[in-house]
Amino acid sequence: MMSISRDKDISGIFARTVLAITLIVAIAAFFVTQLVSERAASFQKLIEHNMVLRGSDAVALSFNTAFTREWDSIHAVAKSIDTMSQADLDHFTDAVAKTGGQVAWAGFATPDGTIRSGSNRIGEGDNVSSKNWFRDGLRAPSISRILETASALNPETGLHEKYLNLSTPVFSAGGQTLGVVMYRLRIEWVKSFLLNASHKLGIDVIVQDDEGNSIVDTRGIRHVLPSNLVSAAAVRSKTSDAFHFVQGSDGSAYAFTSSFIWDHLPDFGWRVFAVLRDENMSSALPALTKDTLWIVGIAAIAMLTVTFVCLRLLLHPIERLAHAAKSLADGKLVFPDEATSSREAISLSSALAIIQSQMISLRNSVERTRTRQANRIPQANWLSKSNLSNGETTPTSSDSANQVRTRVIAAS
């Protein structure tokens, strides 16, 4: 016969189930949180990537557009000088220096290097044949390296003014060289232009020459550029005028180009770096991520609460019925609770009630049988004693024994 083990502990079904579900939900919430955080960080980096590249392109576009206006202006003047009178030429050089503030001085020099006309009559009669801007300008349109004057001081910074000389040759209608026209462009105008553009676009701009010297830096606090960014800019081909994205070793988003100026303009030899401002890096995305995590946490708690209530309603009655079943299996007559929380609980409760009724009926039947058997033995003893008192001998054979049993059965 197969034996059934009743040593297993069936208590605590609800507690163990709740613990298991809590662990599952906690693990799921952890993975969801990690996934949301990673996706949010990746998405924010993508946003920073796009912001710094688009901002850099916008700065380059606005600066090149403004610079091209000056470049086109000097070429338009060069084409008109052949027909200008001296008075018209003087009027023009004066007007250029007074318009916009980007040009500090404009002048025209004859082929021998003598300045024929200069803004506000400054420099007229001087010989500039040894100047680079004059020699380069006689051959082709050119832009000189940044020069620092020894006399002019910037009233705002108190430092010597720095300039960028634009020069181009002047030809007559017959193609004869008449001289060189020159614009002296203020570097402070370049700085202020890039500073305004960087504030509007949310990026900082750092301009360096080909030797690594800083020309413009719109950052409030000037830090050394990350080494990986400088290395990338050094090896990048100068034929590419597009900005390239680099994640700096300091964690900031950078973009750089080795050819900041448009192709139709002379090459300055400038390298331009752009970095996303700190205030733009802390966008609304972290707050959105935080709100999402709060929602995930609240949803997990709500799900656990609903699950616990349902388990309480479903498993707790079954747990009580399981205890009752174990007691009945151990021979204890207990009355199982009537459960109505589920069809399974109702069926189990009904089955246990039937089993309990059958056990009670069976126990009563066994008790009655035992009582009858207990009453037979005294009655048989009484009949035996009665026969002896009447002079009957006690049978010794098997037939007399059968007669005694027959009488006892008949008496019962």
Residues 297 and 152 occupy one common structural domain: no
Q: Mutual orientation of helices 86-98 and 13-80 as an angle, nearest 10°?
A: 160
Can you give the residue range of the structural domain that contains 364?
Answer: 285-391
Residues 179 and 276 occupy one common structural domain: yes
Asked whether residue 78 is domain-assigned, the answer is yes
Q: Render pLDDT for 47-77 as a digit per residue (tens, 0 to 9).
A: 888 888 888 888 888 888 888 998 999 999 8
Residues 132 and 203 occupy one common structural domain: yes
**pTM, 2 dp:** 0.59
Asked whether residue 247 is domain-assigned, the answer is yes
Q: Which of 248, 281, 314 is the last residue of a domain?
A: 281
Residues 161 and 294 occupy one common structural domain: no
d(CA 266, CA 270): 11
Q: What is the pLDDT of residue 179?
A: 94
Residues 248 and 321 occupy one common structural domain: no
Asked whether residue 160 is domain-assigned, the answer is yes
Residues 263 and 374 occupy one common structural domain: no
Q: Which of 247, 281, 315 is the last residue of a domain?
A: 281
270 to each of 142, 178, 229, how far by Cα in Å?
15, 31, 15
Q: What is the pLDDT of residue 338?
A: 62
Q: What is the pLDDT of residue 381?
A: 60
CATH number for the domain including 78? Answer: 3.30.450.20
Asked whether residue 397 is domain-assigned, the answer is no
Q: Which own/partner pairs from 316-319 qualify as long-range (CB within 8 Å, at least 24 positions apart)?
A: 316/14, 316/341, 317/341, 317/342, 317/345, 317/349, 318/13, 318/342, 318/344, 318/345, 318/348, 319/10, 319/11, 319/12, 319/13, 319/14
> Structural domain tally of the chain?
2
Q: What residues form DSSP beta bridges with 152?
A: none
Which residues in the chain come in under a pLDDT of 50? 1-8, 10, 150, 239, 393-401, 404-412
Q: Which of 281, 303, 330 is the last residue of a domain?
A: 281
Residues 131 and 51 occupy one common structural domain: yes
Residues 91 and 218 occupy one common structural domain: yes
